[in-house]
A and B are shown apart, each in its own frame.
Chain A
Amino acid sequence: MMINIYHYLIQLFTNKHIIYVFILIDCLNSILVYKISYKIIQFNCIMENFNKTNGKYARLFESKEKKDDFLLTEKNFKPIFWSLFAMVCYLFNPLNLACCMSQTTVLIQHFVLLMWLNFLLNGKIFMSYIFLAIHANIAVYSLVLIVPSISFIRQKKIFKRKQIKSEFNLISKHATVFVLLFACVFMFNLYLENFNTRFIDCTYLFILKVRDLVPNMGLFWYFLTEMFDHFITFFIYVFQLNAFLYSIPLTLRLKNEPLVNLLIQIGLLYVFKSYPNIGETGLFTSFLPCVAYLFPLMRNVLVFTCMLIAGMVLAPIMFYLWLGSGGGNANFYFAITLVYSVGQIFLLVDVFYACLKREFIKLNGSNVPLNTDGKPANFTLE
């Protein structure tokens, strides 16, 4: 389906003018980023307010050391400022600029994803599922994003003080709707291909089976070039399982913070994809200002900042050293790719850690509990 759209677009515009299409889509994306971040921050403020009035944070106010504006309110965490900042981050991120200049189709995929987020946050669930189904048909990995969306819907229902009769009912209802929509889009694809099922192999199974091992910024290609053919299937299963596995445990843990959960999962699925793209990193780093209140609680900001910068700067050079100048080999490039991916993972884990720490402070107050031997306890992530 996407191929048809691209074909149509290319035919409609000449070579010179197609860059304007990409610039237009980039601008639309940035507007969507602004709206989405605004909604995210608003929702978080409402949520904390709701929990405060429900008395959940009683121990916070009893603690000795108080920070008056620890909880998010619209006054101390201005939505306009931070969403504008997120939009600026999206527009001026060098990764996104590189994507726009090289006219990759990732921008269109981002557009679909951002439309999904927009509709989800505005409450129009059915429209959001349509866009998620389209995105899941383009990139298979976004299937897992149904789980954080259901978590968000559940949290929203709690705010509206509706009694949830059965959570299982809610989950199954939304899941079936989504699966049906996914199947609809799939049928539409099938129809466009005149019911020839060959395209399944070329699109979906291509991403899942990772048959083309072109060097990219991901983790798959190097491992699979070093394997014996015997074991490739096994390793592919393990790698793909890794990509899909983190969704449900994360959602269960971050039940009370559905939006941070959403952001982390978007980030995670982009790290473990089989063919990642630097523009995707650009997208989820541009959402980081939405959770800027977590930054003071993060532990390793210097580490992952340096890793990401070093990875971004050295990756083209190592690629050139290997395939251009010939003074290096594939290990150079893969090492930098690893540094880049590990930097991203550190970033995500740190966001997760800060979120958990904040939850702890909100629920238990800011006193440091004492260990069994009387010394103040250390807060670590097990």
Chain B
Amino acid sequence: MSLYKSDSDNKTKLFENVIKFGPVLSILGYLSGIVYFSLLPHESLIHGTYISENALLPGLVTSDIYSTDSIFNYYHFLKDAYENNGGKGYNAELIHDIFANKLKIESYTQNFNLSNPFSNSETDGITSGTNAYAFGRAQRADGTESIVISAPIYLSGKKKKIPNLFGISQLFILADLAKTRPYWAKDLIFVATDMEHVGIQAWINSYFEAHSDSIKGENLRARGGSIQAALNLEFSDINTNKLEIKLEGPNGKLPNLDLFNTIIRICKSMQFECSLESEKSANSDFSYYHNRPPVDHVSGLINTVNMMLKQATGVPSSLNGYFLNYRIEALTISGTRTSFSSKRSQQKQNVLKTTRIVESTLRSVNNLLERFHQSFFFYLLPSSHYYISIGMYMPAFGLIFLPVLIKILSLWFEIFSNKKSTHSDRNESGLLMLDLLKCVVIKFMISFLFGIVLYLGTPFFLMFGKKFQLSPKDALMNCYLAMMANILMTPFIFRSKFSSSGNKTEAENINKLIILLFLTIFVGTISILNFSLSFFVAIFYSPIALLAIQNVQNRLAKFFKLAMMVVACPIVYFSFIYLLNQYFFENKNFFTNPGQFYVSLSEKFYNFVLFSQISQIWTYEMINLFLVPIWSALWITAFN
């Protein structure tokens, strides 16, 4: 053993162990990661939610809402305005009118424009709307902090728009309270938004004087100070006997868990059914007033996966998400009906309880001395009473990604520690550089070129589509698939240029190392920002990347490898997830009808891209800019 080698005997043994046991450790790590993740919602590993911020004191106040008469008055007034005259009378002007004249509080309207980000012309694609906002100034406070209660004027239902009559009526009741009661320490801001996601963004952007390319709103004429929390109310019907809470914000942000726990506890104390939107099993047995409901492992796992699917797209599940961009904790409370009991007294009870729940939440937030900072910002919810914190789910993610890390280590050892000292170095380094240039640099440049074309190309795709008289969604889908076909053809076109001369293995190993490093960096950084997205990418690309890198000789194995690589194309993979999502969670069977699947997929794809551009969601851009090049580099490598 000589001193020329940089490592001692112990280190060489370590290298050899890693290379020898690498595959076994990888498979073990990957499987144990999946098993560990599935076991997370189990009784032994789960934790019950708790209120971290002691100032919240949920449910301790006696409610100030005694009768439902005024609620029903407002509701019927709005309903008449909606049903007469084809619904034209029911808009932000009417709401502004009620705030200003009947309730006599400070109220304004805000006009805003939405311009289609992909069209250059001024004529098509500019829609406008109006928000109404009002301030219930606290009598005895100094107006430096505020709470926002927002309600969209229309909700987009399955087929058509549904007016949010009950939600807006609750705004009026709460405004009445804000005006007359002395215990409010923060101002209440009531916002009635038009055009759903666009309206609330226009209002928030104007509040913080932020700039957006596609949404331009008027300046706000008054403000309420620093916003501590926001609630969004969406009620499609006045007969609600269950509340559903939507959490997910844009780009994977989540509100502070304390706000969610507060609402759950308040509902529990009022004995009103409340759950997550994605929760399958609802437990209406309130005997657990002092305890939690029992842990159901399977449904917990299903709920977790459902929440992760929603978080992964980066699209906020409702309007509350846009508050999270400015670190204002926000939730959406939406009401649904589970049973059709039409007893009038029951209906009155439900209405009273719903309004009291919202009021009680506001009273709890009113108690806060500082912003929400105590509880978790990164979590997964298997049910409304249990949570999985980042410390529990990150190890699962690490284990799933272990195969790639072990492969990187073994590639590194192969490259750098088997230097044969008999070769002469003179020609070696020159050949090595040339090999590197051929194998590594060209492949990566082409791959990233594809990525950049996809990132910048959406306006051009739509322009091409217009020339060929295609609808926008068809155009986008076709062009995207054309780019994918381009990438698939690349190895065949450039076959001769990519093969290296001379010392093959050295440059190819470096190539594989760099691809895996890119994948690691991408997955690692996204895991902090949007955990679910990186989880779904890692769980599939971890074995796929290793498969692509492996040199196989058998014809059948080679065919299998190439087939898996085609499936690994990002759009194929994500549409596969979409298919499974529709099948399991929304009971739409697309397996029997592929044509309809393609149509619905292209529509969803176009809506997703358009929405991402308007609301500044980076999921689509990141996948185009990083995952597509990584996949295309793997595809090209898989051919050698």
Contacts and interface: CB of A to CB of B under 8 A. Distances in A.
Interface of A: 65, 67, 69-70, 75-76, 81, 296-299, 301-302, 309-310, 313-314, 317-318, 321, 325-328, 357, 360-361, 366-368, 376, 378-379
A69 B525 contact: no
Closest 8 interchain pairs by CB?
A326-B327, A327-B377, A65-B2, A366-B3, A297-B6, A366-B2, A361-B3, A313-B521
Interface in B128-159: none
A136 B458 CA distance: 52
B3 A379 contact: yes
Contacts of B6: 296-299
Interface stretch (B70-78, B418-426, B472-480, B579-587): B418-426
B498 interface: no
A327 B525 contact: no
Contacts of A76: 425-426
A325 B253 contact: yes
B425 A327 contact: no
A313 B523 CA distance: 12
Interface in B294-345: 325, 327
Given A296-B419, A301-B416, A361 B4 contact: yes
Which among A310, A327, A328, A376 has the greatest number of chain B C-beta atoms within 10 A? A327
A378 B416 contact: no
A70 B409 CA distance: 28
B373 to A, nearest CB: 8
Contacts of A325: 253, 325, 327, 529
B512 to A, nearest CB: 16
Interface residues of B, number: 27
B4 A299 contact: no
B369 interface: no
Contact of B412 (A297, A302, A366): A302
A302 B9 CA distance: 18
Nearest to A68: B424
Which among B3, B377, B409 has the greatest number of chain A C-beta atoms within 10 A? B3
Contacts of A314: 524-525, 528
Interface of B: 1-4, 6-9, 253, 325, 327, 377-378, 409, 412, 416, 419, 421, 425-426, 429, 517, 521, 524-525, 528-529
Given A296-B419, A327-B377, A361-B4, 7 more contacts: A67-B421, A302-B409, A314-B528, A327-B327, A357-B3, A366-B2, A378-B8
A309 B327 contact: no
A309 B528 contact: no
A301 B524 CA distance: 21
Contact of A299 (B7, B378, B429, B517): B7
Contacts of B253: 325, 327
Contacts of A368: 1-3
B529 A69 contact: no
Nearest to A69: B425
A193 B299 CA distance: 74
A87 to B, nearest CB: 15
B393 to A, nearest CB: 15
A202 to B, nearest CB: 33
Contact of A313 (B1, B3, B9, B525): B525
A301 B253 CA distance: 37
18 contacts: A75-B426, A81-B429, A301-B416, A313-B521, A313-B525, A314-B525, A317-B528, A317-B529, A318-B528, A321-B528, A325-B325, A326-B327, A327-B253, A327-B377, A328-B377, A367-B3, A378-B8, A379-B3
Contacts of B525: 313-314, 317
A379 B8 contact: yes
Nearest to A81: B429
A352 to B, nearest CB: 14
A75 B69 CA distance: 97
Nearest to A318: B528
B208 to A, nearest CB: 13
Given A317-B528, A327-B253, A65 B327 contact: no
A327 B373 CA distance: 9
Contacts of A313: 521, 524-525
B382 to A, nearest CB: 21
Contacts of A298: 6
A17 to B, nearest CB: 27
Contacts of B528: 314, 317-318, 321
A365 B528 CA distance: 50
A272 B326 CA distance: 35
Contacts of A357: 3
A297 B2 CA distance: 11
Contacts of A309: 517, 521
A348 B6 CA distance: 16
A69 B416 CA distance: 19
Contacts of A379: 3, 8
Contacts of B521: 309, 313
A67 B378 contact: no
A70 B327 CA distance: 60
A89 to B, nearest CB: 14
Contacts of B8: 378-379
Nearest to A316: B525
A318 B521 CA distance: 14
Nearest to A329: B373
B455 to A, nearest CB: 19
A127 to B, nearest CB: 36
Contacts of A299: 6-7
A326 B1 CA distance: 54
Which among B4, B378, B416, B421 has the greatest number of chain A C-beta atoms within 10 A? B4
Contacts of A81: 429
A325 B249 CA distance: 12
A74 to B, nearest CB: 12
A67 B325 CA distance: 61
A375 to B, nearest CB: 10
A335 B290 CA distance: 41
A326 B3 CA distance: 51
Nearest to A375: B9
A338 B378 CA distance: 23
Contacts of B327: 325-327
A318 B327 CA distance: 15
A70 B378 CA distance: 54
A164 B395 CA distance: 63
Contacts of B416: 301
A378 B1 CA distance: 11
A222 B3 CA distance: 42
A366 B2 CA distance: 6
A136 B595 CA distance: 72
Contacts of B524: 310, 313-314
A302 B412 CA distance: 8
Contacts of A65: 2, 4
A84 B329 CA distance: 54
B529 A366 contact: no
B417 to A, nearest CB: 10
A15 B548 CA distance: 50
A81 B425 CA distance: 14
Contacts of B529: 317, 321, 325
A135 to B, nearest CB: 35
A361 B3 CA distance: 7
B426 A376 contact: no
Nearest to B377: A327
A376 B1 contact: yes
Contacts of A317: 525, 528-529
A299 to B, nearest CB: 6
A353 B625 CA distance: 40
A246 to B, nearest CB: 24
A299 B7 CA distance: 7
Nearest to A321: B528
Contact of A366 (B4, B9, B517): B4
Nearest to A75: B426
A327 B378 contact: yes
A349 to B, nearest CB: 14
A67 B4 CA distance: 9
